[in-house]
Amino acid sequence: MARLTGSSINMLKGTLNKVILAAVSLVLFASCGREGAEVPVNTDSPIYPDYMGVTVPSNIAPLNFHYTSAGIRKARTTVTCHESVREFEGKEVVWDMKQWKELLASAEGDSISFSAEILMKGGKKEKHEWKVYVSPDKIDPYLSYRLIEPGYEVWHEVEIRERCIENFDERVLSDWKNTGNSCMNCHIHSQARADLSMFYVRGKDGGAFLNRNGEIRKLSLRAKNMVSGTVYGEIHPSGRFGVFSSNIIIPGFHTQGSRRLEVYDTESDLAIADFDRNEMTVPPAVSRRDVLETFPVFSADGRSIYYCAADTIPLPRDVEKLRYSLMKIGFDEKTGMTGQAAEVVWDAAEHDGSVCHPKCSPDGRWIMYTVADYGTFPIWHAECQLEMMNLHTGEIVKMDAANSDRSDTYHSWSSSSRWFVFASKRGDGKYGRPYFCHVDENGNLTKPFVLPQEDPWHYENSLRSFNIPDLSDGPVNFDAETIGRMVKEAEAEVFH
């Protein structure tokens, strides 16, 4: 099989995606609308988004929603908290920002009660009651994500945006207009820090854009002994180092139920970037020819690297036998070198599955990862679910409260380690949405809730997925115009 890289892959995926998106758009636009619409994203709850019984942080944006039943004639919603009572008429509940903030403040550590009385056109009456619990644990106020057409990683009209989740303010950090229609991806923060983040603009004049200590740098993270440029990775808590995979990535298209796209590596190693010395190191222990290493992250204290590893097998013939284990190896931040031998943390053979996307909580207590039946690109695997391990005891926490019957993955932790956000295709199975979930010190989870939007019909009318949601404690110090100028004018710093 010929290896496809760079623009040839993008052209193939872009063409297929446009055909599929056109068909999806026709179906969804035909079914969407504010009057009597069938709601494609959720059929189990009488409201969408489904905020019934959820726990939210005390600094979240208003939970605007609408009722999902067709044929509603009248609806009245009563909201109470202590002595406060508010009423809404109609099938939508849209909050005034000031009133919502006052309500949250009074309900912190307690709950808000909702009661709905609905009269249908045929005379049938419905009544619904539920609570929303308000945690005193605040969440980091900013969220970045890539907006992309569903299913395929294309460059066409891709944007990376940053949203203040305390309100509805949103801005573009990088977009196709300013980068010559380039692909961009993987905006990540180190432990939710706004002053330490990185993302990629791919293709001609692109590079890795490192945001560190108020400075934006454009880097070429590749050396002669690497199989490719860097792909997946994370920044060390000190800010000096980064750990990355370098991968030869092959997309495979098929029509196997929900698994319409497989992406697999024919080669992959790990590499360490020293941002102070502009050096790349490929440690022998994590660059073996007989092993595929990928998805590296640092431990909370920066003394270890967790990553995923699988034995090389004939591909694509045996892709359904491709299973990755979770590994751990020591890291010395004085030398930038790894240890000599890795240990198995989660054994793929023992669990009869494959792990990807590990992320350590900043408090050092947990590591969260995604488990699928096989492979390393599970967003089209309906069985793909989140799992969590207690790093102090090795105990595995099943995350049934957070998982759905669709793909749940691409998660990130809040700086407090009390919240995490993840991308879920629950509901329609096509579009990834950012969901938030609270986790207490014992690993107990609450029902997830989707990112609130000002328009309660936003998700039904949107035709783009939210990809790789990542929390941060503040806004980053760049925007799309800044990145656009650097793409056009700045030379990428060479690493050796």
Three-state SS string over the chain comes to CCCCCCHHHHHHHHHHHHHHHHHHHHHHHHHCCCCCCCCCCCCCCCEECCCCCCEEECCCCCCCEEECCCCEEEEEEEEEECCEEEEEECCEECCCHHHHHHHHHHHCCCEEEEEEEEEECCCCEEEEEEEEEEECCCCCCEEEEEEECCCCCCCCCCEEEEEECCCCCEEEEEECCCCCCCCEEEEEECCCCCCEEEEEECCCCCEEEEEECCEEEEEECCCCCCCCCEEEEEECCCCCEEEEEEEEEEEEEEEECCEEEEEEEEEEEEEEEECCCCEEECCHHHCCCCEEEEEEEECCCCCEEEEEEEECCCCCCCHHHCCCEEEEEEEECCCCEECCCCEEEECHHHHCCEEEEEEECCCCCEEEEEEECCCCCHHHCCCCEEEEEECCCCCEEECCCCCCCCCEEEEEECCCCCEEEEEECCCCCCCCEEEEEEECCCCCECCCEECCCCCCCHHHHCCCEEEEEEEECCCCCCCHHHHHHHHHHCCCEECC
Dihedral sign, CA of 288, 292, 296, 302?
negative
Give residue 252's pLDDT.
Answer: 62
Domain map (residue ranges) of the chain = 7-25+140-494, 47-63+72-135
Task: Report the relative pairing of strands 55-57 and 125-135 from DSSP bridges.
Answer: parallel
Please report the pLDDT score of residue 260 as a whole number: 56
For residues 470 and 188, is the Cβ–Cβ distance under 8 A? yes
Report pLDDT for 256. Answer: 52
pLDDT for residue 123: 94
Burial of 488 (0-12, 13-18, 19+ CB in 10 A): exposed
Residue 201 pairs with which residues in a beta bridge?
184, 207
In sequence order, what are the residues at sequence separation of 6 or more whose Cβ sits closer than 8 angstroms to the Cβ of residue 71? 36, 120, 121, 122
Q: Does domain 47-63+72-135 have CATH number 2.60.40?
A: yes
What class has domain 7-25+140-494? mainly beta
What pLDDT is stored for residue 27 in this prediction? 32
pLDDT of 349: 96
Q: d(Cα 351, Cα 389) in Å, to the nearest integer?
A: 14
Who's near 406: CB < 8 A, 6+ residues apart? 258, 382, 424, 425, 426, 427, 429
Per-residue pLDDT tens listing for the chain (496 residues):
333 333 333 333 343 344 333 333 333 333 333 333 333 444 589 999 999 999 999 999 999 999 999 999 999 999 999 999 999 999 999 999 999 999 999 999 999 999 999 999 999 999 999 999 999 999 999 999 999 887 554 556 789 999 999 999 999 999 989 998 888 887 899 999 999 999 999 988 999 999 999 999 999 999 988 999 999 999 999 999 999 999 998 776 554 554 556 787 889 999 999 999 999 999 999 999 999 999 999 999 999 999 999 999 998 888 889 999 999 999 999 999 999 999 999 999 999 999 999 999 999 999 999 999 998 876 667 788 999 999 999 999 989 999 998 889 999 999 999 999 999 999 888 899 999 999 999 999 999 999 999 999 999 999 899 999 999 999 999 999 999 999 999 999 999 9
Q: How many CB atoms lie within 10 A of CB 171?
A: 12
The one-letter code for the residue type at 190 is: S
- Cβ proximity of 201 and 187 under 8 Å: no
Q: Are 282 and 270 in contact (CB under 8 A)?
A: yes
